[in-house]
C-alpha cells in the first residue's frame, strides 16, 4: 500500500516554496501527498492557482480571505487564551494562545487519514500531532527558521517567546524527525529543546529553474548591476547600507530591489540615494513567481545578501536568496553574520564577505568584483558550478527523502518485530 503523507502549513502555497518543493519531491518518490494550507491574500492566491494547475498532489486550502465573524471570534479567543497562559501552564492553553490557525489546521488534518503528518511553522505543529494521534500515525516538523529567535532580544517580547517555546517544547521530542533550513537553526533547536540535532535541508531550488548556461556578466541595463529580492523591501535587512554603498562605489553601480516596499521605505531609500548623488541608480522591481527567481537573478552582475543579524534567527539562517543567486550563476556579496561566515568556505570563489552595516566595506567589495571583468567572469563561472553540482534541490531533496523513508522503514521493522 502506498504511504500517505499530509503536509500542514498556516501559510499559502504561493508564498511557501519550501512546502511546494517538499510536496513535489514526495509525490515524485511515490507517496500519496496532500497539502493543507491557507488562503489569505488575493495576490498570493493567484500564485497558488498557477502552482496547483499542474500539481500532482491533492491540496486543501482553508479560506481566510474574508475575515468575518468567525475570524473575529477566533482572535478574541486567542486573546483570552493568552491571558490564561500568563497565569497557568495547563496542557492545551499554549496551543490555543499561540495562533488562531492551529485549530482549523487540526480540524482539516484530522479529516485526512495519513501515515505521516509534516508540520511547517509552529502553528501547524500541534495540528500535526493531533491528527497523527487520531490516525495512529507519526508526525514530523520542518524548522525553516529558529522561531523562538525571530523577535529582538528585548523584554517586550519575552511573553511571546515563552508561549512559542511552550508549544514547540511539548511536541518536538515526539517527532519522527525534525529538519532545519540551516546548520545554525539546527544547532539552535538542539540546544534550546535538548532534542537530537535536526537534519539540515537547505532552502535550495531545482536545477530546472536555472538559466541554460553560465554567462560572463549580467545583461541588465543600466549596469553594473547589484540585485536583491524578497517578499518585502523593508528595514533591518541591510538595504540602507546597500544604498549608501552604491553612492560610495567608484564603479557607479545600480541597485535593483525586487519585492513590495514597506510603507514609506522606498522614500527612505531614495532620500539616502539622493544625498549621495545616486538617486538615478536605485531601481524597484515588481514581485515575480518563485519559480522565476533564479532565471531573473542571472540577469544581474552580483547578488546581495545583506542581513544585519537584527534577531538571533536572522544571524543564523541561510535565506533562499543566497541559493537562488548561486543557481542563477551570479556571485554573492554576503554580510558577515555568523551564518554567512560559516557558509562562505563552501563556495569560497563565488561569494565575498563584507562587514555588515559598513557601507565603505560593501562599496569596496562591489568595486573589487564588477570593476574587474575577468574576476567577475570567473566568479560567475564558479557560482554556476556550485549551483549545478551541489546547491540545488535535485541534490538536497535526497536528504529529505532519507528522513521520510526512515519513518516508514522503522515502522515496518517495528511491525515485523
User: Grid coordinates 496551543 are at which residue?
Assistant: 95
Q: Which CATH architecture has domain 207-389?
A: 3-Layer(aba) Sandwich (3.40)
pLDDT tens figures, 135-160: 999 999 999 999 999 999 899 888 88
pLDDT tens figures, 182-228: 999 999 999 999 999 999 999 999 999 999 999 999 999 999 999 99
Please report the pLDDT score of residue 65 as a whole number: 78
Please report the pLDDT score of residue 310 as a whole number: 92
All residues at 6 or more sequence positions from 176 whose CB lies less than 8 Å from its CB, including other chains? 116, 138, 139, 140, 407
Helix/strand/coil (H/E/C) assignment for every residue in the chain:
CCCEEEEECCCCHHHCHHHHHHHHHHHHCCCEEEEEEEECCHHHHHHHHHHHCCCCCEEEEEECCCCCHHHHHHHHHHHHHHHHHCCCCCCCHHHHHHCCCHHHHHHHHHCCCCCEEEEECHHHHHHHHHHHHHCCCEEEEEECCCHHHCCCCCHHHHHHHHHHHHHHHHHHHHCCCEEECCHHHHHHHHHHHCCCCCEECCCCCCHHHCCCCCCCCCCCCCCCEEEEEEEEECCCCCHHHHHHHHHHCCCCCEEEEEEEECCCHHHHHHHHHHHCCCHHHEEEECCCCHHHHHHHHCCCCEEEECCCCCCHHHHHCCCHHHHHHHHHCCCEEEECCHHHHHHHHHHCCCEEEECCCCHHHHHHHHHHHHCCHHHHHHHHHHHHHHHHHCCCHHHHHHHHHHHHHHHHHHHHHHHHC
Q: Which CATH architecture has domain 4-204+394-416?
A: 3-Layer(aba) Sandwich (3.40)
Please report the pLDDT score of residue 308 as a whole number: 95
pTM recorded for the entire structure: 0.92
Please report the pLDDT score of residue 415 as a whole number: 46
* Nearest residue to 192 (alpha-carbon basis) of 156, 123, 129, 143: 143
pLDDT tens figures, 154-192: 998 888 898 899 899 999 999 999 999 999 999 999 999
Domain ranges of the chain: 4-204+394-416, 207-389
pLDDT tens per residue across all 417 residues of the chain = 789 999 999 999 988 899 999 999 999 999 999 999 999 877 777 888 888 888 999 999 998 877 666 666 666 666 666 666 666 665 677 777 778 899 999 999 999 999 999 999 999 999 999 999 999 999 999 999 999 999 998 998 888 898 899 899 999 999 999 999 999 999 999 999 999 999 999 999 999 999 999 999 999 999 999 999 998 999 999 999 999 999 999 999 999 999 999 999 999 999 999 999 999 999 999 988 888 999 999 999 999 999 999 999 999 999 999 999 999 999 999 999 999 999 999 999 999 999 999 999 999 999 999 999 999 999 999 999 999 999 999 999 999 999 999 999 876 554 433
Amino acid at each position: 500500500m502506498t504511504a500517505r503523507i499530509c503536509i500542514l502549513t498556516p501559510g499559502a502555497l504561493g508564498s511557501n516554496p519550501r512546502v511546494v518543493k517538499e510536496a513535489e519531491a514526495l509525490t515524485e518518490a511515490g507517496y500519496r501527498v496532500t497539502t493543507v494550507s491557507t488562503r489569505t491574500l488575493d495576490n498570493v492566491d493567484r500564485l497558488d492557482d498557477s502552482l496547483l494547475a499542474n500539481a500532482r498532489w491533492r491540496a486543501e486550502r482553508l479560506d481566510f480571505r474574508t475575515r468575518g465573524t468567525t475570524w473575529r471570534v477566533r482572535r478574541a479567543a486567542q486573546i483570552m487564551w493568552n491571558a490564561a497562559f500568563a497565569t497557568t501552564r495547563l496542557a492545551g492553553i499554549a496551543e490555543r494562545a499561540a495562533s488562531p490557525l492551529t485549530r482549523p489546521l487540526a480540524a482539516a488534518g484530522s479529516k485526512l487519514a495519513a501515515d505521516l503528518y509534516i508540520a511547517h511553522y509552529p502553528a501547524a505543529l500541534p495540528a500535526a500531532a493531533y491528527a497523527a494521534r487520531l490516525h495512529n500515525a507519526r508526525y514530523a516538523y520542518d524548522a525553516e527558521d529558529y522561531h523562538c529567535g525571530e523577535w529582538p532580544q528585548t523584554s517586550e517580547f519575552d511573553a511571546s517567546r515563552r508561549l512559542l517555546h511552550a508549544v514547540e517544547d511539548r511536541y518536538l521530542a515526539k517527532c519522527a524527525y525534525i529538519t532545519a533550513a540551516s546548520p545554525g537553526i539546527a544547532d539552535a533547536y538542539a540546544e534550546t529543546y535538548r532534542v537530537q540535532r535536526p537534519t539540515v535541508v537547505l532552502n535550495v531550488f531545482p536545477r530546472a529553474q536555472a538559466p541554460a548556461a553560465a554567462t560572463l556578466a549580467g545583461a541588465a541595463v543600466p549596469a553594473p548591476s547589484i540585485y536583491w529580492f524578497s517578499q518585502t523591501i523593508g528595514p533591518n535587512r541591510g538595504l540602507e547600507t546597500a544604498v549608501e554603498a552604491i553612492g560610495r562605489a567608484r564603479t557607479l553601480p545600480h541597485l535593483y530591489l525586487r519585492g513590495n516596499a514597506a510603507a514609506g521605505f522606498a522614500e527612505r531609500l531614495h532620500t539616502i540615494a539622493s544625498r549621495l548623488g545616486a538617486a538615478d541608480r536605485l531601481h524597484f522591481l515588481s514581485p515575480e513567481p518563485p519559480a522565476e527567481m533564479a532565471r531573473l537573478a542571472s540577469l544581474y552582475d552580483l547578488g546581495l545578501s545583506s542581513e544585519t543579524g537584527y534577531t538571533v534567527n536572522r544571524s543564523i539562517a541561510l535565506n533562499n536568496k543566497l541559493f537562488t543567486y548561486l543557481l542563477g550563476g551570479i556571485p554573492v556579496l554576503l554580510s558577515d553574520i555568523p551564518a554567512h561566515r560559516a557558509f562562505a568556505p563552501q563556495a569560497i570563489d563565488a561569494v565575498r564577505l563584507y562587514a555588515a552595516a559598513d557601507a565603505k566595506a560593501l562599496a569596496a567589495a562591489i568595486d573589487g568584483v564588477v570593476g574587474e571583468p575577468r574576476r567577475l567572469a570567473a566568479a560567475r563561472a564558479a557560482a554556476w558550478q556550485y549551483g549545478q553540482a551541489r546547491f540545488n534541490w535535485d541534490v538536497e531533496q535526497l536528504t529529505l527523502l532519507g528522513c521520510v523513508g526512515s519513518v516508514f522503514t522503522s515502522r515496518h521493522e517495528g511491525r515485523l518485530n
